[in-house]
Amino acid sequence: MSQAYVLFDRDGTLIKHVHYLIDPSKVELLANSALGLKMLKNFGFRFGIITNQSVINRGLATEDQVNAVNNRVIELFQFEGIDFDFILYCPHTPDEVCDCRKPAVALGQQAINEYDIDPTISFMLGDQPSDVIFGLQLGFRSIKIGDEMHNEPQADFHAKDLLEAAHWITSNTQKGQVFK
Ligand SMILES: [Zn+2]
């Protein structure tokens, strides 16, 4: 049976944005992110992360460094009792015009196929307009997180943080639709 997922951007959505983050010790969860995820977990949602990491093909980070940071993100949420089923990343720069850098949808389609995600009962959360566009193109309801500097008019909702987003998601979802 298809699954209800919440997909997340990584930097600026789950963890504090650090310019060219390559040091796992610099990973910090954003305030209220674990709290919001617990609420969504209790509702029955599963979780994944899809992130643009052009630092790799810009030559500013190796894949090993990006994987080390990703593993630290997974670990910090595990300490809070929260599991992510996957982290998928695009290593390309915008100039490469690949099909996997958000808002391009290749990684989202891969996740839908591999994890049997039902977009109609799933959500995408991110701090960039490209995250919102990405989610909408895949048929997810999409939420823009964070400050109002870069609001995306097409977003289904704007939330100041992940906890506010979790409240909106759970009040706009029928619990019976979210299958475990
Ligand atoms: Zn790519």
Domain-embedded: residue 145: yes
The two structure tokens encoding residue 3 = 């699954």
* Residue at 72: amino acid letter: R
Domain-embedded: residue 167: no
Whole-number Å distance, alpha carbon 80 to ligand 1 midpoint, is 31
Domain-embedded: residue 179: no
**Structural domain of residue 14, as residue ranges?**
5-158
The residues facing 48 across adjacent strands are 7, 86
Whole-number Å distance, alpha carbon 90 to ligand 1 midpoint, is 4
Among 85, 78, 2, 4, smallest CA distance to 38 is for 78
Collapsed DSSP state (helix, strand, coil) of residue 142: strand
CA pair distance 115, 3, nearest whole angstrom: 8
Each of the 180 residues of the chain gets a pLDDT tens digit; together they read: 799 999 999 999 999 998 888 899 999 999 899 999 999 999 999 999 999 999 999 999 999 999 999 999 999 999 999 999 999 999 999 999 999 999 999 999 999 999 999 999 999 999 999 999 999 999 999 999 998 777 888 999 999 999 999 999 999 998 888 865
The confidence score (pLDDT) of residue 42 equals 96
The confidence score (pLDDT) of residue 179 equals 64
Whole-number Å distance, alpha carbon 110 to ligand 1 midpoint, is 13
Domain-embedded: residue 168: no
Domain count, the chain: 1
Domain-embedded: residue 10: yes
Whole-number Å distance, alpha carbon 43 to ligand 1 midpoint, is 32
Specify whether the backbone of 94 is left (phi greater than 0), alpha (psi in -120 to 50) or beta.
alpha
Who's near 20: CB < 8 A, 6+ residues apart?
A: 55, 60, 61
Domain-embedded: residue 174: no
Q: Is the pTM of this model over 0.75?
A: yes
The confidence score (pLDDT) of residue 70 equals 97
Domain-embedded: residue 86: yes
Whole-number Å distance, alpha carbon 22 to ligand 1 midpoint, is 19
The confidence score (pLDDT) of residue 178 equals 87
Residues noted as catalytic: 9, 11
CATH number where 102 lies: 3.40.50.1000
Domain-embedded: residue 96: yes
